[in-house]
Structure 1
Amino acid sequence: MPAQLLQIAAAPDLVDQVYRALHDAISSGSLAPGERITQEDLARRLAVSRQPVLQALRLLKKDGFVLDAPGRGLLVAPLDVDWMHKVYQVRGALDVLAARLAAAQRHRIDPKLIERGRRAARGRSVEAMIEADAAFHHAIYAASGNLLIAQSADQHWRHLRRAMGAVLQSVPQRESLWDEHEAIAKAIAAGNVDRAARLSDAHVTQAAQTLGTRLAARLSAHANQGSTA
């Protein structure tokens, strides 16, 4: 006799949709760091029942995007510069490995990804900038031929998207980032393993420094506003 399994209370795809909608709102700042949130209010705003919201919030809490609020309910987790630095350290190691493996195969990254990124950099949509950046780097992960790289990186990109959303709008050198991306892609296509790795390492290191500086300044400004309110 087959074992009895517990019934799923809500369709998995709906829970995933709610998770992504809330994660996008947290990443864009629509749900701000430290903001209190309730299951009932989110269900009303998303026009869904409370059950998928509850399950999505449990996943977001597990992933570190929401925390228990004092008293009752939840709040959006504050941004943490030290935590983001650690995330970038891991991402950097994965990016360098992926670039090496992709270059060893002389993989040609689709130039349309770079064109898409340059268009996004000239626009005002932070979401489009983040999606283009993620698409380029995930193309390198796929080109590496090692599925574990993309699987490992996905977990960290969830946090990276949030930090990028917080500061990317104010970064003046957005398009120059795509010069760096193009140089990495050319090194990979040429099969220059060492150059591809070196450029990838420099790219992530600079991105981490820029993001950390601007994120720290933003958090300091918010703290000063709070102390004078």
Structure 2
Amino acid sequence: MPVPENRGLVRRSLLREDAYRAIRDAIVSGTLAPGERLHDADLVAWLGVSRTPVREALGRLELVGLVRTSPGRHTVVSPLDVRAVHHAQAVVAAMHELAVREAVPHLAEGDLAAMREANVRFGAAVRAADVDGALAADDAFHGVAVTAAANQAVVTVLEQFTPVLRRLERLRFGSLAGRASVAQHDRIIEHCAAGEVDAAATAARENWSTLAPLLDAAEDTGERPGSADPAPRGG
């Protein structure tokens, strides 16, 4: 078949995705703080891309609630909206429950070994207050079931809503509260290894529901977790 005339689509697509991920990750990590104004020129210079992928990235970030754009086109990093995080948490927990439910019949010993290894890294990172390491290991742990489930709808929903939770998780994994997740992960692995689909799925959902106390505390005190300083990082 003839080569399409509209060439360069792959490269432009990658530029858009790279710009989106870079800005998203900077917001989640606290590098771009809540309330900080985002100027197109600064983002273009930082990312080394044109204005178009930057504007498209900001549009996607606005849809998930990580930035806000005023009628005058001023874009700022959103404060953490506790109600929005509650909603995102419910969706993410349900998606991970579904992923585990669909994954358990397909998990091989290698998958279980990968989950165990990720949880060991997760525990070590939490104890060292290495927030970046803890989040990476947590992603690896839960990613085993998401990959095994092979459900693209789950992947798409998680890609949209998980970043909304990450700013809150940075506080949690920088404290002793994050250590409870190690035992919760172990229970998920045990149920998966035993082929206990319902128990494994329930344990996965409960694991993603443990952010609720931090949200409740934020509502009770009027604090906004996303406006706090980033949790300490390990070396």
Band of TM-score, shorter chain = 0.7 to 0.9
Pick one of 185, 195, 198 that aligns with 1:194: 198
Match of 1:226 in 2: none
Is residue 69–residue 75 contact of structure 2 (8 Å, CA) maintained in 1?
yes
Identity %: 31
- Ranges in structure 2 where 5+ consecutive residues have no aligned partner: 229-235
| 1:129 equivalent in alignment to 2:116 | no
| Corresponding position of 1:152 | 157
Is the contact made by 1:104 and 1:192 (CA closer than 8 Å) also made in structure 2? Answer: no
State the secondary structure of the residue aligned to 1:116. helix
Cα pair 1:163 1:215 within 8 Å, conserved: no
Give the Å deviation of 1:24. 0.9
Task: Output aligned runs, 1:71-86, within 5 Å.
Answer: 71-86=72-87
Give the conservation status (yes or no) of the 8 Å contact 2:167–2:226.
no
**Greater CA drift, 72-81 or 53-62:** 53-62
* Distance (Å, rounded) in 2 between the aligned partners of 1:186 and 1:155: 29
How many residue pairs align between the two structures? 221
SS in 1 for 2:176: coil
Cα pair distance change 1:186/1:222, threshold 3 Å? closer
State the 1:122 CA deviation. Answer: 2.2
Q: What displacement does 1:72 show? A: 4.1
Distance 2:225 2:66 in 1: 20
Partner Cα distance (2:8, 2:46) in 1: 27
User: What amino acid does structure 1 have at the position aligned with 2:172?
Assistant: L
Cα gap change, 1:145 to 1:57, in 2 (>3 Å): closer
Shift of 1:169: 5.0
- Residue 165 of structure 2 aligns with an amino acid whose one-letter code is L
Who is 2:40 aligned against?
A: 39
Structure 1 Cα separation of the partners of residues 205 and 139 of structure 2 = 16
2: CA distance, partners of 1:221 / 1:193: 35
Alpha-carbon contact 1:184-1:200 (below 8 Å) kept: yes
Name the counterpart of 2:172: 168
Q: 1:206 to 1:124 in 2, by over 3 A?
A: closer
- Describe the shift of the 1:91–1:127 C-alpha distance in structure 2 as closer, same or farther (beyond 3 A): same
SS at match of 2:31: coil
Which residue does 1:55 correspond to in 2? 56
Q: Deviations over 1:126-172 (max 9, x none)?
A: 2222222122112112223434322332222122223323x235432
TM-score using structure 2 length: 0.79
User: Cα 1:72–1:205, aligned 2, differ >3 Å: closer, same or farther?
Assistant: closer
Structure 1 residues 46, 133: CA separation in 2 closer, same or farther (over 3 Å shift)?
A: same
- Give the Å deviation of 1:26: 0.5
Q: What root-mean-square deviation, in Å, do the aligned CA atoms of Structure 1 and Structure 2 show? A: 3.0
Q: Which moved more, 1:185-194 or 1:114-123?
A: 114-123
1:191 is displaced (CA, Å) by 0.7
Secondary structure of residue in 2 paired with 1:31: coil
- Which letter maps to 1:86? H
Summarize the Cα distance change of 1:14–1:188 in structure 2 as closer, same or farther, 3 Å threshold. Answer: same
Is residue 18 from structure 1 mapped to residue 22 from structure 2 by the alignment? no
Map Cα deviations across residues 43-77 of structure 1 (whole Å, 9 max, x no partner). 23344443432332233223332211364421112
Rate the CA distance shift 1:183–1:2 in 2: closer, same or farther, 3 A: closer
Note the C-alpha offset of 1:183.
1.2
Which of the numbers 218, 221, 224 marks the counterpart of 1:219?
A: 224
Aligned partners of 1:52, 1:89: CA distance in 2, in Å? 30
Counterpart in the other structure of 1:205: 209
**Alpha-carbon distance between aligned partners in 2 of 1:158 and 1:90, rounded to the nearest angstrom:** 12
- Residues 35, 77 of structure 2: 8 Å contact kept: yes
Q: Distance in 2 between matches of 1:104 and 1:74?
A: 46
Q: Normalising to structure 1: TM-score of the pair?
A: 0.80
